[in-house]
Amino acid sequence: MSSGALFLAVFLACVVEAVEALTIVLAAGTGRDWRSAVTGVVAGVAVLAVVVAALGPAVTAIPLGGLRLVVGGLLLIFGLQWLRKAILRASGLKALHDEDAIYARELAAARAAAPGRRGMVADWYSFTLSFKGVVLEGLEVAFIALTFGANQQNIPLAAIAALSAIVVVTVAGIAVRAPLARVPENTMKFVVGVMLTSFGIFWGAEGAGAVWPGADAALLVVVPVVALFALALVATLRRAVTAPGAVAS
């Protein structure tokens, strides 16, 4: 796997998570109190820093064969979950992911919540909403960066890709003060789902002792095959949805 492919895979996956975290933080700040929301972000980042500092050495200490088997399995879990949702959305069986709608729901919930101060935090709801959003989405970012980076023995590049994604989304969010609804997140989730599933198959098989023809070049076959299979599922399910008498759920 080349350095460019590693950077792109981590960057795209982390952009998706960063957009979701940004939507939550914007709702907390706009609907309640910006200072408390920002404090929650800072606290969440601090927790993530501790987690990454603890997990980083532990991940790199695992033998490469065992690491690829574990990482391959985990990536398959993540990738298949994302790909399943993307296929259902693309086929019309599941509503498209709408950041504007999510933002509106979070904003309404924030405005409806009762005010409350705890210690130095003026609005506890804003703080906890931002904190949870940053920690939950940030853990996925950390997992993606650590596993991809450790498996390719290039954690610094994976970390740079993850930080780049966070910076790009944050700057864009600050500039427009609105959810990044123009980001084609459903398409991105489909692409990232294909990539994570493909890498999971590739690394999991390597970890189990399989030898791919052409080594890393085999990914040039695995990725398109997974993508074509997913697109075939979309086409099949779409025909089922539009067939006479079909009822979409």
pLDDT over threshold 50, residue 8: yes
pLDDT at 23: 82
Q: Give me the pLDDT at residue 119, please.
A: 65
Contact 177, 26 (CB under 8 A): yes
Q: Where are the domains of the chain?
A: 3-242
Structure confidence at residue 226 as a pLDDT band (50, 70, 90)? very high
CA distance 129 to 136: 11
Q: So what's the pLDDT on residue 248?
A: 47
Question: How remote is the C-alpha of 111 from its chain's centroid?
Answer: 27
The highest-confidence range among 131-135, 195-199, 228-232, 245-249, by mean pLDDT, is 228-232
In tens, the pLDDT along 19-29 reads: 888 888 888 78
Residue 214 pLDDT > 50: yes
Share of the chain above pLDDT 90, in %: 9
CA 94, 96, 97: angle at the middle one, nearest 5?
A: 120
d(CA 115, CA 155): 42
**Which pLDDT does position 39 carry in this prediction?**
92
Q: How far apart are CA 91 and CA 229, in angstroms?
A: 14
Q: How many CB atoms are located within 10 Å of the residue 32 CB?
A: 23
The pLDDT-based confidence of 175 (bands split at 50, 70, 90) is confident
Task: In whole angstroms, give the CA distance from residue 139 to residue 143.
Answer: 6
- Residue 186: the pLDDT is 76
Cβ–Cβ under 8 Å, residues 192 and 63: no
